A and B are shown apart, each in its own frame.
Chain A
Amino acid sequence: MKWDEFFVTGEPMIYAAMVSIVVVSLAILIGLTYFKKWGYLWREWLTTVDHKRIGVMYILAALIMLFRGGIDALLMRTQLAAPEMKFLDAQHYNEIFTTHGVIMILFMAMPFVIGLMNVVVPLQIGARDVAFPRLNAVSFWMFFFGAMLFNISFVIGGSPDAGWTAYFPLASLEFSPTVGNNFYSLALQISGIGTLMTGVNFIVTILKMRAPGMKLMRMPMFTWSVLITNVIILFAFPVLTVALALMMFDRIFGSQFFTMANGGMDMLWANLFWVWGHPEVYIVILPAFGIFSDIISTFSKKNLYGYKSMVASMVVISLLSFIVWAHHFYTMGAGVMVNGFFSITTMAIAVPTGVKIFNWLFTLQKGKISFTTPMLYAMAFIPIFTIGGVTGVMLAMASADYQYHNTMFLVAHFHYVLIPGTVFGVLAGMYFWFPKIFGFRLNEKLGKTAFWLIVVGFNTAFLPLFFLGLSGMTRRMYTYSADTGFGPLNMVATIGAFILAIGFVVLCYNFYWSFRYSPRDENGDPWDARTLEWSTPSPVPVYNFAKVPNVKSMDALWEAKVNGVPLYEEGPYEPIHMPNNSGQPFILGVIMFFLGFFLVFSWFIPAIIAGIGVVVMLALRSFERDHGYHISPEEIAATEQKLRGDSV
């Protein structure tokens, strides 16, 4: 292999990206050395097993990926702004829409959601950490190095270019001969294993580690949504594992699963992909529903309307999510019975979702509503998401779908569910829980400015796509002629995309401003909220709860505040058992990264060595004796004194 095959060449924008990657990496290395932060970084972050820090790292990584995916989006919108643009060529455009999709779903939405789960769930159920803190760190580093492996593809070897769905035969070695789709199969595999481990970890955490009295039907709605989400993860991700493994065998070892000859079946990929892919949609949307439920209840000063029906509707959605996958390819000729079945199951999902929409509206009814930034996102979510949902029912009608299939109408639909649903959800959650972790709120004025830019920009960018789709503009086409008449609406959409981007810049500026100037939070409950996490001081100490809370009702903190039901029993502190930090998860992640990288280029000898490295790491863990450490009552008392300014 020659150097010019190894590195991507010939594109000025990619050369610029390479230079900027080198410059930024050097700046980070020099900065860490100059400020003597290597030890701090290693001890406090890279080796941490604390669920809050892992959550923060997830969210940080997700934000970085949001910007990578967002720049991809801006490049695409620029290319489509006017007819016959020469900004990107067809190949580059293919690569960009592929990486945009993969990054936004798997390396932005998923980790953002998982990051919030990590930060919030143990606090909401009164636990001191997740069930398996070390495994949690492994999950994070698998995700992180999977994401890194995927991201280097655009300077080394070439990005995947067969769409985020990577349909065969297009994604086969025959039609996509570069290593791009090898990156796809291996990077997603590595981060997918991490996600599966998260699934196991959180189900055990929620089912087994709740504080006394925190019955299932007293859990905050976000925790409920996370429980259901992780059950979906547990059963959906193994399907992705298999699909990606088969893809890898086809592309790297010459097997015949999805080929055009020797009995291979290309449609098998589409089925496997969507058997995972559709539940995946609910994996990223259900936690957002949970976040909105908690936020709407908090800022309406009411308990959630229809708690039981909220839980039941999520359970129904999770079951239905596994039997709707074929609606992604009605046009592939499966026949009337199959299309009819999937059409009905798909439409049925509108029912439990509608129940949730009405429950949110009834929670708002006669509430004392305060329009904070998180609440604004929740308010915008309800109507915009409904547009996304209703167009989803339009797409669910198999015969009508022949008209919409793979048009911009579809693109508009799924952005109308994923952005107001997932993105607004995680942003609202981030604003809402930010003070719990950092001890101060993000600035409200900047937050609201960013909110309005994002909402207006989003609708300007995506509403025109519905009409473009109905007038025949297909997705993934890199240019169009002026005769089509697609020009003006595309220009509007591009302007919207840039407004959206400005919104995100303001959001980032808000971090900077608030870190410097925002007043520090005194009592740990800045929003006058309802659930357990707000009964801890902010920032939350490493052990979360100095004493295990005693839960006697739903919204336990609210009961404590309004009716004076005590959350914590009187009496001395007891020693708290905590897990030790470990560098093993990080090292395992690095080894997995190299294992994936060597396999991408079919360098089998180094790959085998890396594989042995993985087995060695597992063995080291098995033989390790690590019983953690104890925090003494005196130390707890001192910490609580410092954070609360009194003794509890």
Chain B
Amino acid sequence: MKINDSLPLEYRTEENSNKIFGFWLFLGAEIALFSTLFAVYLTLWNRTGSGPTGKELFELNGVIWETFLLLTSSFTCGLGIHAMRLNLKKPMIVFFVITLLMGLGFLGIEITEFVNYVHEGATLQTSAFLSSLFVLLGTHGLHVTMGILWGAGILIQVGRQGFTDETANKSFIFSLYWHFLDVVWIFIFSFVYMKGLM
């Protein structure tokens, strides 16, 4: 097995550096996936039928909190990877735990928001606008959920084994994923909420 010591731990073996490259490609496919969902949303966003419009539905308060939590979690995730590069196990775990907790907080607010929408009579079945809204936000939310489960699994492994080629590689790839979800959220914030409220 070829090992290149001049690289960060997560890149050292050929297999691991292939995994990182492969994950970048996967993120490329994810960009295509979310672009399609945005295209669908932007096609349907003013086709509200007899249901409510975005302006009537959206409340900025929750959205601001969601944005704050997710953006900050991306920062703490980056700090976690920085700690990993410095071989500091405990700080890395603490930063990752904070990241995942903020992710959970984001999810909690999003679910509350969905429940509120449904109580106001705005469901998946109401109109094309709402279908595309729920599916776009839901896909992002599902990604966050999977990310939390995945991140928790990696944390357990780091806790047990410390930083190895494998755990470092997994943590790094997880961080790429988490930053990506943050980027998608920025687009959701701009093209769904800001556009809807204007």
For chains A and B in complex, what number of residue pairs have CB atoms within 8 angstroms? Answer: 120
A261 and B49 contact, Cβ closer than 8 Å, known pairs A200-B25, A235-B29, A238-B29: yes
Question: Any chain A CB within 8 A of the CB of B72?
Answer: no
A621-636 contact mask (Cβ, 8 Å, vs B): 1 or 0: 0110100000000000
A28 to B18, CA, bound (A): 40
Contact at B47–A207, with CB atoms within 8 Å? Answer: no
Q: How far is the CB of B23 from chain A (nearest CB, A)?
A: 8
The residue on A at minimum CB distance from B149 is A615
A159-204 interface with B by 8 A CB criterion? 196, 199-201, 203-204
Contact between B36 and A263, CB atoms less than 8 A apart = no
Residue numbers in A under 8 Å from B4 (CB-CB): none
Q: Does A452 contact B (CB under 8 A)?
A: no
| Interface stretch (choices B91-99, B129-137, B182-190) | B129-137
Whether the Cβ atoms of A234 and B28 lie closer than 8 Å is: yes
What is the total number of residues of chain A having a CB less than 8 Å from a CB of chain B? 45
Inter-chain CA distance A200–B18, complex, in Å, is: 11
Interface of A is mostly: helix
**A255 interface neighbour in B1, B125, B170, Cβ under 8 Å:** B125
Q: How far is the CB of A65 from chain B (nearest CB, A)?
A: 25
Say yes or no: B132 contacts A262, CB within 8 Å: no
In the complex, A131 Cα to B22 Cα: how many Å? 9
Write out the residue numbers on chain B whose beta carbons fall within 8 Å of the beta carbon of A242: 33, 36-37, 40
Interface centre among A204, A207, A622 (most CB of B within 10 A): A204
Q: Size band of the B side of the interface?
A: 35 or more
A209 within 8 A of B: yes
**CB–CB A131/B128 < 8 A:** no
Among B1, B18, B170, max chain A CB count under 10 A is at: B18
With both beta carbons as reference points, the residue of chain A lying nearest to B14 in the complex is identified as: A208
| Chain B residues near A275 (CB-CB < 8 A) | 36
User: Which residues of the partner chain B approach A268 to less than 8 Å between Cβ atoms?
Assistant: 40, 43-44
A200 touches B127 (CB 8 A): no
Looking at B60-68, B77-85, B105-113, B150-158, the stretch in contact with chain A turns out to be B150-158
* Distance of A201 Cα from B157 Cα, bound (Å): 25
A257 CB contacts on chain B under 8 angstroms: 40, 44, 128, 131-132
Question: Quick one: which of A235, A241, A262 contacts B126, CB cutoff 8 A?
Answer: A262
**Cβ–Cβ contact B22 & A204, under 8 A:** yes
Name 18 interchain pairs, CB-CB below 8 A, sorted by A.
A131-B18, A199-B29, A200-B22, A200-B29, A203-B25, A204-B22, A208-B17, A235-B32, A236-B32, A241-B33, A249-B131, A254-B124, A255-B125, A262-B127, A265-B43, A272-B36, A622-B150, A623-B157
**Top 8 A-B pairs, shortest CB-CB distance:** A263-B47, A263-B128, A262-B49, A238-B33, A255-B131, A238-B32, A263-B49, A242-B36
Residues in chain A within 8 A of chain B (CB atoms): 131-132, 196, 199-201, 203-204, 207-209, 234-239, 241-243, 245-246, 249-250, 253-257, 259, 261-265, 268, 272, 275, 577, 615, 618-619, 622-623, 625
